[in-house]
């Protein structure tokens, strides 16, 4: 298994906690970078697999309407908050990964759940901003519904506004699961061997951030999409994150 590769981290996944690189929350909405156009060519710099759209997974209201999930309500997504390019779509998939594998293409802001028969379910995602990008392979170690969030102390130092939202939970200072939690409705915890990478695939209550590079390294999805992925994914599945190509922004 290849090791996680990050621009600012060269000494192993355990250092992610020490440096606060994987807190799974980004800046405010005003800091969201411009969305990168979808990259559908297999010759892209990231090695993005070639895909051809087969069809939408359902109409917008069906896929992204309000959901009552136990004691919590998942708010409906406004069409204006989710670009059509990043809506859940079934595609013909030309990659070589085995069915059940999750492939993330940060440059195109897509996540693929590989299926049988040369197909995949494709979702739009938000990924790490410059300096927080990573690539490599990991496994889904565990999954949680409405997970608690425990930001590293380094993140709290960077974002003192978050401290007032924290409380003492069973595993330390954090935010209990719920609609206001940055991890959203579901989280997949990515490990390499017996080490937590501190990266997650999780939901978000900021659907407008999908298609952008804004997070602290984690892979965020619309809550309705991460709930759909949660039903398809299994503990132990491989996750492949392709090389990240940062967009060039003019001054």
Percent of the chain with pLDDT over 70: 74
State residue 204's pLDDT score. Answer: 94
Per-residue CA distances from 238 to 14, 33, 193, 222 (Å): 19, 29, 12, 21
Summarised one tens digit per residue, pLDDT across range 134-156 is 779 999 999 999 999 988 788 88
Fold of the CATH domain 5-9+40-147+183-241: L,D-transpeptidase catalytic domain-like (2.40.440)
- The model's confidence at residue 213, banded by pLDDT at 50, 70 and 90, is confident
Q: 36-45, 47-56, 214-223, 237-246: which range is least confident on average?
A: 36-45
Q: The pTM is what?
A: 0.79
Residue 113, both tokens: 């759940």
Residue 149, phi then psi, degrees to nearest 5 = -120, 130
State residue 159's pLDDT score. Answer: 85
Residue 191 has pLDDT above 90, yes or no: yes
- Alpha carbons within 13 angstroms on the beta-carbon side of residue 196 total 12
Residue 200, phi then psi, degrees to nearest 5 = -135, 155
Q: Which residue has the higher pLDDT, 44 or 229?
A: 229
Summarised one tens digit per residue, pLDDT across range 55-65 is 777 799 999 99
Beta bridge partners of 91: 53, 120
Buried/exposed code over 140-168 (b: 16+ C-beta within 10 A; e: otherwise): bbebbebbbbbbbeebbeebeebeeebee
Q: Which position has the token pair 């809550």?
A: 223
- Spatial contact of 49 and 110, defined as CB atoms under 8 Å apart: no
- The model's confidence at residue 48, banded by pLDDT at 50, 70 and 90, is confident
Total residue length of the chain: 251
Q: What's the mean pLDDT when you consider all of the chain?
A: 79
**DSSP H or E segment with residue 33:** none
Q: 42-46, 78-82, 117-121, 139-143: which range is least confident on average?
A: 42-46
Query: β-strands 195-204, 213-215: how paired?
Result: unpaired
- The model's confidence at residue 18, banded by pLDDT at 50, 70 and 90, is very low
- The model's confidence at residue 47, banded by pLDDT at 50, 70 and 90, is low
């Amino acid at each position: 298994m290849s090791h996680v590769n990050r621009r600012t981290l060269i000494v192993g996944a355990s250092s992610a906690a020490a440096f606060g690189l994987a807190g799974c929350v980004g800046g405010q909405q005003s800091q969201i970078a411009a969305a990168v156009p979808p990259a559908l060519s297999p010759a892209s710099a990231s090695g993005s697999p070639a895909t051809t759209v087969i069809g939408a997974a359902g109409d917008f209201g069906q896929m992204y309407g309000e959901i009552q999930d136990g004691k919590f309500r998942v708010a409906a997504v406004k069409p204006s908050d989710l670009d059509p390019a990043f809506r859940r779509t079934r595609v013909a998939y030309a990659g070589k990964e085995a069915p059940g594998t999750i492939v993330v293409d940060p440059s195109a802001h897509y996540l693929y759940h590989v299926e049988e028969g040369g197909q995949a379910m494709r979702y739009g995602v938000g990924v790490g901003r410059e300096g927080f990008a990573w690539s490599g392979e990991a496994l889904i170690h565990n999954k949680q519904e409405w997970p608690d969030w425990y930001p590293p102390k380094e993140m709290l130092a960077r974002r003192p506004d978050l401290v007032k939202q924290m409380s003492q939970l069973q595993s330390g200072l954090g935010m209990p699961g719920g609609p206001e939690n940055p991890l959203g409705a579901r989280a997949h915890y990515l490990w390499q061997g017996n080490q937590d990478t501190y990266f997650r695939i999780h939901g978000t209550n900021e659907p407008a951030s999908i298609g952008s590079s804004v997070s602290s390294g984690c892979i965020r999805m619309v809550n309705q999409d991460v709930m759909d992925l949660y039903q398809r994914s299994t503990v132990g599945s491989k996750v492949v994150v392709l090389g990240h190509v940062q967009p060039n922004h003019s001054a």
